[in-house]
Chain A
Amino acid sequence: MTRNGIRRVIATFGQLCSIVLVIFGYSQAAVAQVFDMREGVTEISQRVQNLHHISLGVCVVVGIVVFGAMFYTMYAHRRSKHPVPAKFHESTPVEIIWTIIPTLILIGMAVPATTALIDIEDNSDPDITVLVTASQWKWHYQYVEADIGFFSNLATPQDAINNLIEKEETYILDVDNPLVIPTNQKVRFLMTSGDVIHSWWVPDFAVKQDAVPGFINEAWTRVDVPGVYRGQCTELCGMNHAYMPVVVEVLPEEEFDAWIEDQRVAAALAGEQAVADRSRTWTMDELMPIGEQVYIAQCATCHLPDGAGQGIRYPALAASEIVNGPVEGHIDRVMNGVADTEMQAWAPQLSDRDIAAVITYERNSFGNATGDIVQPLTVFESR
């Protein structure tokens, strides 16, 4: 069969499947969306999808031949129709034929796979480089050339996870700060991790690369279509593996440049705000609501919203020795974390005000009543 012939067979089979599904009430586009590998928005993702079609097509055709022969023989050579079995049980030519034909088919599949792979692994000449650092359970994106960086956390409310409120279309695929990249530029990702192995995956780019602590892996993409693309961590990385989405916003080049400028300005403003925050004394009433917000967003997944904790790895904050002990110990634990555990160092992740607020909140909630108010200045001086 010629190459086109095979393509036609595959296409016809695809059509047939679609027609069956359309009869059952799916639209043709919906069928492709529901049952197919995603086409994605990069040249590579489309080639990968094509490779998926080729290999699936080959499997379906071989399956039809082999299973067809099986079902035919089970029907035609059952005892009631074929009482006397044949005697043959060996044939070297036949064995050779069905060794060689699959080998040739495999070579036919290996060629497009090899060429695609060579292009995927070509990480040379990037326009932009982003250092992606994973940690339990968030991503940090650092733009190497522009020297800006930020954390990207799950933004889906805990109440949606606990089925208390309606789930949105982007349930558990929503973050506070998405990675932003420009269209039509080769973006190189350098992946690493601060704790366990994670894996960064955006199906629409066909990019999946493990983030391994102590090592740096490479991947790249070039996206033509602006939009928001969502994926997830794909390597089991502990308790909240399911809650570690990847969201990438692709902007047209000019908008991207403007966004970078905005980020620079925002960083400068945040610096000024930090100075203002630590130069005055805050009251309990000001800090408590901020602390509660930070606690729910960052701490509650492990220590639970009521501070009850989850066993020895995620200790209770209610009646905790550290929370009810000297303030210095509590500040140290929050800012520097505990090495080799899920309790991370929060100093690089949160502002002085947020750390002060969350510590104040913890010391005056869950039945803890120390009455302590931690000031942003105290946190600043502990840095």
Chain B
Amino acid sequence: MIAHADTIPKQRHPLIAFLLRWLLTTNHKEIGTLYLCLAFLLFFIGGAMAMVVRLELFQPGLQFTQPDFYNQMVTLHGLIMVFGAVMPAFVGLANWLVPLMIGAPDMALPRLNNFSFWILPFAFILLLSSMFMEGGAPNFGWTFYAPLSTTYGPPSTDYFILGVHLMGVSSVLGAINVMVTILNMRAPGMTLFRMPLFVWTWLITAFLLIMAMPVLAGAVTMMLTDRHFGTSFFEASGGGDPVLFQHVFWFFGHPEVYIMILPGFGIASQIIPTFARKKLFGYHSMVIATIAIALLSFIVWGHHMFAAGMPLAAELFFMYATMLIAVPTGVKVFNWVATMWRGSMTFETPMLFAVGFVIMFTIGGFSGLMLALVPADFQYHDTFFVVAHFHYVLYPGAIFGTMAAVYYWLPKWSGRMYDERLGKIHFWTATIAVNLTFFPMHFSGLAGMPRRIVDYSIAFADFNMLSSIGAGLLGLTQILFLYIVVKALTSGEKVTDAQVWEGAEGLEWTLPSPAPLHSFETPPVIEPDDAHAAADRA
């Protein structure tokens, strides 16, 4: 089990040896585990902040927080969930799964891999330490619009800027590693169009990361120089433009939202065929649709800014481009349904989460299409309708996707099975809680409730109470999930079969369970009668 038994001197204290092992590991499986653990820890911290927000919004009036602290919670919740929970979780899954799926012995750049993980704890310590500083944590929303975040930002904004820089470095390095691994380390015979969909979606995500994260780095650097070095990028009185900030931010921000969903598409595309016992329908169109979504993601950023003052021609362009995204997204959903069609389905926990993913992500997609229509967007923009929309895409999308992946591959990773009955309870309570939390937000938004407000008109009280009750339940399901995972790892039934799931296909299922620390040291042989090869011939 010990990775560097040879390199670590034997006389060290066991605790130090343990810490050094995890600090210095270059093994993709161990780094994957580190990423997943960090993501889960930050998911709890970000979730606790959401609980504070929902507690405050349980009733109108100020109950538990002061407005400034509330804004800090809203800001940190968003930043931590985006950069601390979803993105590291996906990088963790990529670390674990990409080498196994393409038959590589490890990631292409193992030391870089270690480095890109260990940047993250420092980045989040910087960000979270701002809570204890004079003037409080960043309080300007995760979108940190200038000049609220520049001229008017609290002193801790500089820690936030440095933290975001570090997160960006980590993401870019991680993305380079995934991309280089996929492009160079595939087993012989594993052509690009034989790669599993999860690998494809991560390859495309890696491109998005490398293109988008430097733009974010540019935005926060301009903020820093505006704050301290006398520039006026975003300061109108110095000849700058506050709206420029929004253009730069959303040029990063829109690809970012696909960074947070494409790997989820990949996960659903692995799990649904397994439990439908039928090949993924339309493999090639799935790949092409993903590429189309990724390309479109770079020309739709303006749809976040329709109310910021935009000429008619630009509004029309961004509206049409945004509506167009519905086409490849629709193709993906239709392909998943066609994969299930006339299969032979069973509904173990991973399948439940994958199906929940498809249905609820689609609901979020629908509201996304509605938001694209500029005249209607003037009514939806910056209301709880938007909050409902992106939580439908992110929670049942990114989070359900990650949970589906954990249930699906945990037996392969650990050699132990989770408790199926508890897994099903987890799925159903989470599904009820997600809908109870986020569905009423559509209505409070339509009724006129702006987002990011600490207090609201009594007209919105009923919907907010429902959302808060749902959020409390949703918080409890996380504890259940933690219990299920810990129980599986400590006392779960041992899995001996390499296959684990009878319908599963892919190289990872040819390895014994649990997967040995070093796998595919000799490249596997890709079967010529592999389904995709047959598809290639046809």
Roughly how many angstroms separate A243 CA and B358 CA in the complex, as a whole number?
A: 39
Q: How far is the CA of A343 from the CA of B134 in the complex (A)?
A: 18
Bound-complex Cα distance A287 to B316 (A): 57
The answer to whether A233 and B134 touch across the interface, beta carbons within 8 angstroms, is no
Q: Choose one: A85, A95, A201; the contact of B450 (CB below 8 Å).
A: A201
Q: Which residues of the other chain, A, contact B152 by a CB distance below 8 angstroms? A: 195-196, 238, 340-342
Say whether A7 faces chain B, with CB atoms less than 8 Å apart. no
Interface residues on B, range: 35 or more
Q: How far is the CB of A156 from chain B (nearest CB, A)?
A: 9
Asked if A311 is at the interface of the complex by the 8 Å CB criterion, the answer is yes
How far does the Cβ of B38 sit from chain A's closest Cβ, in whole Å? 28
Give complex CA distance A38, B443 in Å: 11
| A74 pairs with B340, CB closer than 8 A | yes
Stretch at the interface among A164-172, A175-183, A263-271, A366-374: A164-172
Q: Which stretch (A111-119, A322-330, A355-363) binds chain B?
A: A111-119
B383: chain A residues at CB < 8 Å are: 234
A90-B282 CB under 8 A given contacts A110-B320, A110-B323, A312-B134? yes
Select one of B139, B307, B335, B370 contacting A55, CB under 8 A. B370
Count: A-B pairs, CB below 8 Å: 298
Partner of A195, one of B147, B323, B378, B538: B147
Q: Is the Cβ of B61 less than 8 Å from the Cβ of A163? A: yes
Return B356 CB to nearest CB of chain A, in Å: 11
Taking the nearest CB of chain B, how far is it from the CB of A306, in angstroms?
14
CB distance from A55 to the nearest CB of B (A): 5
Count how many chain A residues have C-beta atoms less than 8 Å from C-beta atoms of the other chain. Answer: 99
Q: Are B457 and A210 in contact (CB under 8 A)?
A: no
| Chain A interface mostly | mixed
Q: Identify which of residues 345-386 in chain B touch chain A, using a CB-to-CB cut-off of 8 Å.
A: 345-347, 355, 358-359, 362-363, 366-367, 369-370, 373-376, 378-379, 381-383
Given A117-B316, A160-B61, check contact A52 B71 (CB 8 Å): no
> A242 to B334, Cβ gap below 8 A?
no
A70 interfacial by beta-carbon distance below 8 Å: yes
Instruction: Say yes or no: A214 contacts B241, CB within 8 Å.
Output: yes
Do B141 and A236 touch across chains, with their CB atoms under 8 A apart? yes
**A189–B282 CA distance with the chains assembled, in angstroms:** 52
Residue from the list B330, B355, B446, B451 in contact with A37, Cβ < 8 A: B446
Cross-chain contact A102 with B330 (CB below 8 angstroms): yes
Contact A171 B140 (CB under 8 A): no
Which chain B residues lie closer than 8 Å to A120 at the CB level?
374-375, 378
Complex Cα–Cα for A278 and B151 (A): 37
Q: Are B337's CB and A240's CB within 8 A?
A: no
CA distance A170 to B60 in the complex (A): 12
Determine which of B134, B319, B447, B454 lies in contact with A38 in the assembled complex, contact meaning CB atoms within 8 Å.
Answer: B447
Is A333 interfacial (CB 8 A cutoff)? no
Determine how close the nearest CB of chain A comes to the CB of B505; give it in whole angstroms: 12
Known: A106-B324, A236-B140. A89 touches B456 (CB 8 A): no
Residues of B contacting A69 in the complex (Cβ-Cβ under 8 angstroms): 337, 341
Contact with A along B109-140 (1 / 0, CB 8 A): 00000000000000000000000001110011
User: Does A91 lie at the interface of the complex (its beta carbon under 8 Å from any beta carbon of B)?
Assistant: yes
**New A-B contacts (5) at CB < 8 Å, excluding given A114-B319, A241-B71, A312-B155:** A73-B342, A83-B344, A90-B281, A91-B281, A234-B307
| A-B pairs with lowest CB-CB distance, top 6 | A214-B236, A242-B453, A89-B279, A217-B309, A59-B366, A86-B342
7 sample A-B contacts, Cβ–Cβ < 8 Å, listed by A number: A79-B277, A113-B373, A199-B382, A203-B379, A231-B448, A235-B307, A242-B453
